[in-house]
Amino acid sequence: MLTHAEIWGAIDAIAARNGLTASGLARKAGLDPTTFNKSKRITPDGRQRWPSTESVAKVLEATATDLDAFMEVVFALRGIRPGRSIPLVGLDDAGDLSLFDRDGAPVGKGWNEVSFPGTGEERVYALEITGTEAAPVFREGDILVAAPKASTRRGDRIVVHCRSGEVILAELRRRNAKTLEIRPFGKEEERVLDANDVAWVSRVLWASQ
């Protein structure tokens, strides 16, 4: 899932790669020169304003940037680098806490591997979705890349590893020293977990969907 900051950051990065300002990139793409101005990225009442699909398509065409190259820019903004295999485990097996150290980093045997563009976070792991419990957000066969102990904020997609062995794919609603409030995918109701019952929380960095 691309964020507001990543989309605008990628546009700025493409402009810089082509030796252009944001205004210059807009002109090159045949758009109004103010289209990508920073002042237009947030509305007067503080809401995020997203670039249109059409304007992004025109930028890609004008700079001869294909979609794969655009995503490489986004990955770079996330600290992702090419050329790496990372540990992979199925969702059904991810509740085995012996596969992780106490901070949630993958350890020991029982892991497969999957090729991934890479990431600046050295302790990531991949999780293969099994079953339909997380549908329609994640479907069987999807691969998630998650970072344990990564900073999280409201709205992030996360993997919650409970001390009981339960693994929950969810959206983070609120977190403090005592509780973790989440909205599990595939469920209508939110859950409130006692912080003492949570082994660790991993933030989903990427998903193959």
Query: pLDDT below 70 — which residues of the chain?
Result: 1, 79-84, 117-122, 209
Whats the size of the chain, residue-wise?
A: 209
| Residue 81, pLDDT score | 59
Q: Are strands 191-194 and 84-90 parallel, antiparallel or unpaired?
A: unpaired
**pLDDT for 132-155, tens place per residue?**
888 889 989 999 999 997 889 999
CB count within 10 Å of CB 159 equals: 22
Instruction: Give residue limits of the domains in the chain.
Output: 4-77, 86-208
Task: Please measure the distance between the N-terminal and C-terminal CA atoms of the chain and give it in whole angstroms.
Answer: 10
Helix (H) or strand (E) holding 58: helix 53-62
Count of alpha carbons within 13 Å of 7, Cβ hemisphere only? 16
At 118 the pLDDT is 56
CATH tag, 4-77:
1.10.260
Maximum distance among all Cα pairs of the chain, rounded to whole angstroms? 57
Question: Please, which residues bridge with residue 198 across strands?
Answer: 162
What is the distance, to the nearest Å, from the Cα of residue 8 to the centroid of all Cα atoms in its chain?
16
CATH number of 86-208: 2.10.109.10
Read off the DSSP letter of residue 52.
P
Give the H/E segment covering residue 180: strand 179-184
The kind and range of the H/E element at 194 are strand 191-194
- Please tell me the distance from the alpha carbon of residue 117 to that of residue 85, in angstroms, as a whole number: 8
Please compute Rg for the chain using Cα positions. 19
Q: Is the peptide bond before 136 cis (omega within 30 degrees of 0)?
A: yes
